[in-house]
Amino acid sequence: MKAVRRGLIVANWKMHKTAQEAADLARAVSALVADSCTFRDVVLCPPFTSLHSVKEVLSDSPIALGAQNLHWESEGAFTGEVSAAMILTSGCRYVILGHSERRQFFGETDEVVRRKLAAALKAGLEPIVCVGETLQQREAGNTNSVVLGQLESALDGIPSDDISRVSLAYEPVWAIGTGRTATAEQAEEVHAVLRKWLRYERDEEVAEATRIQYGGSVKPDNAAELFAQENVDGGLIGGASLDADSFAAIVNAGIDP
C-alpha cells in the first residue's frame, strides 16, 4: 500500500451475526488489530441491528464503525429503510454503497447509488462506493466501460471537495464469495483505470487522494500481494471478516513489523 494514501480495510459482515454474536466478534477483532490501526484504517460494518452492540465494544478502540446501506431520503414513509442521519447518530463514520448484492438482488441502479452517495455525504458520512463487472461483462471485454460507467454515474454532481470523503471498492462480481479472487494484476489494472478516470475527469489531487479497495475473496494468503499493488489501497472483506483470526491476518498483511 502506498505511503501517500492510508490503507483502509473494511469488514462487510453482510447478513451475519445477531447483536450478541457481533459484539463477541468485534471484541475478538479489536483485541487482535487495534495496534494495526496506527498503520491502517480498520472498519467493521455489521448489520443495522448490531450497530449498537458493536459501537459499545468499539468505544475505546481506534476501529471505526460502518453500515452496509442507507436510504437517500432523510425521513418519511419508507417502511423498512434507514436514513443517513440514523446511521451517523448510531455511531457510524462509514457506509458501504452500491454493493453488487444490492444491485443484483435489490434492483439498485446507478441512479439509486448516486442519490445514496449524495445523501451520505450531506449527512457527513464517509461512503465506500462499490463498482464491479460480472463474468459475462468481463468475458465480453467490457470491464472498463462497466466500472467507469458506474463510477461516472455515482459521482455525477458530487463536488470534488466532497470526493475527499469517498473511497471506492473495486469488486468484480465473479470474485465475490466464490473463492475466485482476481489476480493482483487483474485488480491493479482496473484500479489504475479508475484512478486515471479520476485524474482526467476530476484532478490530480482527487486521483492521488482517493482510496480504492479491492474486494472479492480476499483471504490471508492473497491479501499481501493484492495490497502491494500500486493502486490498491486496501480491501473490502466479506467471508474472511467473519473470523477474527483471518480478518486480523488480512489487516496485518504486508505490514512490516
Catalytic positions, please?
99, 171
Site for ligand PGA in 145-204 (CB under 6 A): 171, 176-177
Least Å distance, CB 15 to ligand PGA, is 12
Stretch that binds ligand PGA, among 53-61, 148-156, 214-222, 243-251 (CB under 6 A): 214-222
> Which residue lies nearer to ligand PGA by CB, 7 or 215?
215
Cα 191 off chain centre by: 14
The only residue of 207, 218, 226, 250 in contact with ligand PGA, by rule CB under 6 A: 218
Stretch that binds ligand PGA, among 106-114, 189-197, 209-217, 246-254 (CB under 6 A): 209-217
Q: Which residue is nearest to ligand PGA (CB)?
A: 238
Residue 7: all three cell numbers together: 490503507
Q: Answer for the pair 182, 147: CB distance below 8 angstroms, yes or no.
A: no
Residue 67: all three cell numbers together: 453500515
Calpha distance 58→44 (Å, rounded):
10
Site for ligand PGA in 9-48 (CB under 6 A): 12
Binding mask 113-152 for ligand PGA (x = CB under 6 A): ----------------------------------------
Least Å distance, CB 204 to ligand PGA, is 29
User: Which candidate, 218, 212, 216, places its Cα nearest to that of 231?
Assistant: 212
**106 contributes a contact to ligand PGA by CB under 6 A:** no
Q: At 46, phi and psi to the nearest 5?
A: -85, 175
Site for ligand PGA in 227-256 (CB under 6 A): 236-240
Least Å distance, CB 17 to ligand PGA, is 14
Calpha distance 226→213 (Å, rounded):
10
Amino acid at 192: A
Q: If DSSP states are collapsed to H, E and C, what string results for 1-64?
A: CCCCCCEEEEEECCCCCCHHHHHHHHHHHHHHHHHHHHCEEEEEECCHHHHHHHHHHCCCCCCE
- In the complex, which residues of this chain contact ligand PGA (CB under 6 A)? 12, 171, 176-177, 215-218, 236-240
